Structure formats: structure tokens, C-alpha cells
Amino acid sequence: MSSLSLEHIGKKYPNGFEAVKDFNLEIADKEFIIFVGPSGCGKSTTLRMIAGLEEISSGTLKIDGKVMNDVDPKDRDIAMVFQNYALYPHMTVFDNMAFGLKLRKVPKDQIEKTVKEAAKILDLEHLLDRKPKALSGGQRQRVAMGRAIVRNPRVFLMDEPLSNLDAKLRVQMRTEIAKLHDRLGATIIYVTHDQTEAMTLGTRIVVMKEGVVQQVDTPQNLYNEP
């Protein structure tokens, strides 16, 4: 049974521009789906519609058969990790990771337990009292991941999460994301420009162009074609 289905999804922005056209995809539980395609082809728009940060103009988004189109972002069981991390600069690592849980009125002792567990997974335990400006790029990226992990979502959406890191860190974080995917058993949808990331992480790759899905295939079939 499919965990996430996009049925004829379209996005028309208020200015009339059609950023996404008739997007169809069935995503099974625990898949690692990669979106690739030139800048402006509609990758982020699609992620934001799945997250509920952008209204779906046409079509239907379902999780386990339940229509999600009008469900509030915070009730979607989906967490998004952004390219620019979007950390609160005035809050500590702990508070940044706890924020989404506080918003959902999770009890304090439960928050503490959950944040500490996530910090352990992400090797952030010793940094919980720091502010983002006192962290390296890789550490900030881990905090951004931590904010998503604490919610234990069914689906993670990652919009070029490694693109602000230098080459060495990117390789290291790529390995960590692969481990995280195994460990969490969640579905991941991941936008990247990096072919190596797409090949090593993806179970399937969705190629987009000008708002239209061109191809959906495994990395093997997509990149090893003669």
C-alpha cells in the first residue's frame, strides 16, 4: 500500500504562472524519492504543496488514502528540512529542536526525552546549549534535521539540504542521511542538483522540466543507460 500519492497535482500561482502541471506519483512507504531538474522546474513548489506550505491548485494529495489537500501543515505527519536551515538565531539548539513540539503542546518531560534522543542520533548532545551562530555549517544542518526528526514524521521533505555545505561535509552528511533513512524507516522526498546524491540515496528519481514530470525511474536505469 502506498503511503503518499500525488494525483494530477497542479500549481498555478496567483500571477497565472503554472509552476507544476499534472504531477502523478505513487510513493511507497520508506522510499527515498529524489527530485531533479533545472532551477525553476517546480521541485520546491511540489515539496511545499506536499508540506502544506503552498496551496494545491488542482489534483489530490493523499496519505494512506486520506485526502490531505486542506489539512493544516502541522497535522500532516510530514516534516520539511530546508536548504537555509531556518533555525531561530536567538534560541539554543535544544530550543530550536523543541520548538515544533512545544507548538503541539507535547508535555515538557516528553520533549526533553525526545530532543535528547534525536541529539544523540545526530551527535549534537554536547551542543544543546549553543546558539546557531556558534555552530559549524554541518552542525546547523544536523539541528535542522533534528527539528524534523523529533516529530517522528511519516514523511521527510528535504529541499537541497546539503547544498550549503563544502564538498567534504556534503559527502559525510550524505552517508549520515542514508543511515538516518534506514534507522528512521521513514519516507524521504529529497531535492538535489547533485547526481552522486541522487544515485547513492535514491530508490527512485523523478526528473522534472518546466513543471512537468519527464521520467520516473531507479538510479540504475536512469544513469546506466547505454
Binding residues for ligand ADP (CB under 6 A): 13, 15, 17, 19, 37, 39-45, 74, 86, 88, 99-100, 103, 147
Q: Output 4 or 19, the one with its CB closest to ligand ADP.
A: 19
Shortest Å distance, C-beta 159 to ligand ADP: 7
Which single residue is written with the C-alpha cell 522546474? 41
Shortest Å distance, C-beta 77 to ligand ADP: 11
Q: What are the grid coordinates assigned to 112, written together?
A: 526533553
* Rounded Cα gap, residues 170 and 107, in angstroms: 35
* Rounded Cα gap, residues 16 and 158, in angstroms: 27
Q: Which helix (H) or strand (E) holds 108?
A: helix 108-121
Shortest Å distance, C-beta 46 to ligand ADP: 7
Q: Output 183 or 193, the one with its CB closest to ligand ADP.
A: 193
Q: Output 43 or 174, the one with its CB closest to ligand ADP.
A: 43
Q: Are 151 and 105 in contact (CB under 8 A)?
A: no
Comparing every residue's Cβ against ligand ADP, the nearest one is 100
Q: Output 37 or 161, the one with its CB closest to ligand ADP.
A: 37
Q: Which amino acid is at 57?
A: S
Shortest Å distance, C-beta 197 to ligand ADP: 15
* Rounded Cα gap, residues 158 and 211, in angstroms: 19
Q: Which amino acid is at 197?
A: E
